[in-house]
Chains A and B, each alone.
Chain A
Amino acid sequence: MTRAGLLRAVTFFGALAILPLGIGPVWVVNLLIFTLMYSALATSWNLVGGYAGYPSLGHAAFFGIGAYSVAIIFHHSVGNGYSPFFLLPIIGICAGVLSIPIGWIAMRTRADVFAIVTITLLFIAQTLAFNLRTVTGGAQGKSVAIPPFGVEHFAWPFYYAMLTLLLVAMGISYYFRRSKIGLSLAAVKADEDKAHGVGVRVTMVKIVAFGFSVGIAAMVGGVWAYYSGFIYPQFAVDPLITIGMVLMTFLGGRGTLWGPIIGAFILVPAQQTFAYQFGGSQFYLLAYAAIFLLIMLVLPQGVLPTIMERLRAKSRMQQLASLATNDQEVAR
């Protein structure tokens, strides 16, 4: 890790770690929790959608699986309040294992078929959440026991849980970039057939990326359900969650380390303000779609790569300019 990169990471996570200590209003902490949640989700989506170029539209299904796992297991009691958090790794691993056969089948062919399978999975998961009433409570929803946290700092454990998950997601994302996995994924993205031809273990690496990715999504879903206290099928398995993480990754810059987080930190506050101002999820949908189309058409590379490109171009121009002045002086 470069020193600048390490410094950036330490500053970012350090600042986030001490942030709630200085913040009074509950709504700010609430907003931060959702920002961190989407940062983690977008970072996890980026592992498959960004690095490998396989756009998954079904991450919300795994988010929902995590959410329902917590709601079902901790429906009656949560003990001292921390046991759901300790169960998260197991939920993540289970979701990852569950994704192996689906990923294996879906990624045998092409990116578009993968999108078909994952989007179908999303709606199947939602239908099941609605219809398996004995397990999920159906449309009436399912409650999670209320933890015995103090009123004053009620949201803190959830905040730090989300922060930890973001840290894990970023850790994995960083590790991917530095290791053979990341190289293989980049090869898959560039040209899968050629990558296969030169001996990259294409299938293996795609499944690994997908497994880690949905595992994180499931854990985030678990914390979300616990924090919400009550979950409904249409919100736990919501296409908007999928589109949210995709949108943020694209906005920030897919395939980059910090892009998804930048996207989340721009969009989540905007989204919350928007919801507060206008309410009504219909306008929401329309605005989401409009922003999405705008980004796709105007800024398909995302904010981060565009800025980097500009900076690089600028410094190149400066170099050229200084070279030119040097030449002129020499000539004189």
Chain B
Amino acid sequence: MHSLIQAIILGALTGGVYALMASGQTLIFGIMKVINLAQGAFVIFASYLSFSLLQLTGLDPFLSILITTPIMFVIGAGAQWFLLRPLRQDDMVELSLLVTFAMALGLEGLMAIIYKTTYRSIQPGYENHSWTIAGYQVNEVRFYAFLLSLVMLGVLYVLLQKTKFGRSVRATVQNPMSAQLLGVNSKLVSAFGFGLGVATAAAAGAVFGLIVPFNPGSHYDLISRLLTVVVLGGLGSIGGSVIGALIMGVASAIVSALASPIWSDFTFFIVLLLVLLLRPRGLFGARVRGSL
């Protein structure tokens, strides 16, 4: 029982980190109907950025987010503008999948050239500290990461609901054509939206690097988990992806505590198949296009 509760605590905290990654993913899908297979690679890239900043300047990973977020935003917006925007509209879905997959491979290659393939982790000195509450271990970094995820999700919410940019994003999600007729520059919104989705990878990357050792190939692991989370939550629903992330975090932690860590990866695949079998649009997926 003790180990089960411990697993649930651990899983929920990890789930918060997944939520942050998945919210970017689902934002991108919501705006452009593009499944970004490179999101995992962007997260790992951001992890390396934070890692380098800590190594070179001693900057705390949580503070480095302030620097990496704009960088990731520019990379994301640039990738959308130069690689996705020129694709032909009629088979956008298929081509964009392959293009983002190619982006992931390219990033992996780039990172492997710069950082080699040895596993790294971000070690600011407090990464193993933890509190003991009623006999349960609560890892400090994971807890802060969880809080950070909540903050970032809050920022994302405000940005989407309360600002002019957010309104144009939501308008584009609901109906790109009408949005354009009403004076929304949907091309620019797409680029900004993609940039925003990739920018969430900055915070996620810093946190991910703190809690898990990573190498350039880690994005494969990440992307299959992220996609499962997003499909479970419902493609395009940010709230859904947060809940999906928490569920998956807890579920895989329980499986890994009770059975073995090997099968925790498998949990994701089984859940993915079950969701598609029983409720293909996910927990909170909209029947019509749109809904954020």
Q: Which residues of A contact B (CB under 8 A)?
A: 53, 55, 57, 102, 105-106, 108-113, 115-117, 119-121, 123-124, 126-128, 131-132, 239-240, 243, 246, 250, 281-290, 292-293, 296-297, 300
- The answer to whether B273 touches A117, judged by C-beta atoms less than 8 angstroms apart, is yes
- The answer to whether B224 touches A123, judged by C-beta atoms less than 8 angstroms apart, is yes
User: Contact check: which of B95, B110, B227 meets A119 at CB < 8 Å?
Assistant: B227
Q: Which residues of B contact A (CB under 8 A)?
A: 33, 35, 37, 83, 86-88, 91, 93-95, 97-99, 101-103, 105-106, 108-110, 112-113, 220-221, 223-224, 227-228, 231, 235, 262, 265-266, 268-269, 272-273, 276-277, 280
- The answer to whether B37 touches A109, judged by C-beta atoms less than 8 angstroms apart, is no
- The answer to whether A109 touches B221, judged by C-beta atoms less than 8 angstroms apart, is no
Measured between C-beta atoms, what is the minimum distance from B209 to chain A in Å?
A: 20
Given A53-B94, A290-B106: A117 touches B276 (CB 8 Å cut-off):
yes
| Complex CA–CA separation, A119 to B97 (angstroms) | 11
A284: chain B residues within 8 A (beta carbon): 109
- The answer to whether A283 touches B106, judged by C-beta atoms less than 8 angstroms apart, is no
- A-B pairs with CB below 8 Å: how many? 127
Given A124-B224, A289-B109, A300-B87: A115 touches B35 (CB 8 Å cut-off):
yes
Select the residue from A119, A246, A285, A297 with max chain B CB neighbours within 10 A: A285
- The answer to whether A297 touches B87, judged by C-beta atoms less than 8 angstroms apart, is yes
B105: chain A residues within 8 A (beta carbon): 239-240, 243, 285, 288-289, 292
B110: chain A residues within 8 A (beta carbon): 286
B112: chain A residues within 8 A (beta carbon): 281-282, 285
- The answer to whether B266 touches A124, judged by C-beta atoms less than 8 angstroms apart, is yes
User: Contact check: which of B97, B99, B280 meets A115 at CB < 8 Å?
Assistant: B97
- The answer to whether B277 touches A128, judged by C-beta atoms less than 8 angstroms apart, is no
Given A109-B280, A116-B227: A297 touches B86 (CB 8 Å cut-off):
yes
A116: chain B residues within 8 A (beta carbon): 35, 227, 231, 272
| Complex CA–CA separation, A195 to B277 (angstroms) | 22
Given A57-B101, A113-B280: A296 touches B95 (CB 8 Å cut-off):
yes
- Chain A interface mostly: helix
A110: chain B residues within 8 A (beta carbon): 93
Q: Which 3 A-B pairs have the closest CB atoms?
A: A285-B109, A289-B106, A286-B109
- The answer to whether A55 touches B269, judged by C-beta atoms less than 8 angstroms apart, is no
The residue in chain A whose Cβ has the minimal distance to the Cβ of B109 is: A285
Measured between C-beta atoms, what is the minimum distance from A309 to chain B in Å?
A: 15
Measured between C-beta atoms, what is the minimum distance from B255 to chain A in Å?
A: 13
B88: chain A residues within 8 A (beta carbon): 300
Select the residue from A111, A116, A117 with max chain B CB neighbours within 10 A: A116
Given A109-B280, A283-B113, A297-B86: A119 touches B37 (CB 8 Å cut-off):
yes
Additional A-B contacts beyond A55-B98, A117-B272, A282-B112 (12; CB < 8 A)? A57-B101, A105-B277, A112-B35, A116-B231, A120-B272, A124-B266, A127-B262, A128-B262, A281-B112, A282-B109, A293-B103, A300-B87
- The answer to whether B99 touches A293, judged by C-beta atoms less than 8 angstroms apart, is yes
User: Contact check: which of B33, B269, B280 meets A121 at CB < 8 Å?
Assistant: B269
Measured between C-beta atoms, what is the minimum distance from A283 to chain B in Å?
A: 7
The residue in chain B whose Cβ has the minimal distance to the Cβ of A288 is: B105
A243: chain B residues within 8 A (beta carbon): 101-102, 105
- The answer to whether B276 touches A113, judged by C-beta atoms less than 8 angstroms apart, is yes
Select the residue from B83, B99, B228, B272 with max chain A CB neighbours within 10 A: B272
B228: chain A residues within 8 A (beta carbon): 120
Given A55-B94, A124-B269, A283-B113: A108 touches B106 (CB 8 Å cut-off):
no
Measured between C-beta atoms, what is the minimum distance from A233 to chain B in Å?
A: 12
Measured between C-beta atoms, what is the minimum distance from B140 to chain A in Å?
A: 29
Select the residue from A106, A117, A128, A281 with max chain B CB neighbours within 10 A: A117
| Complex CA–CA separation, A286 to B265 (angstroms) | 27
Measured between C-beta atoms, what is the minimum distance from B38 to chain A in Å?
A: 10
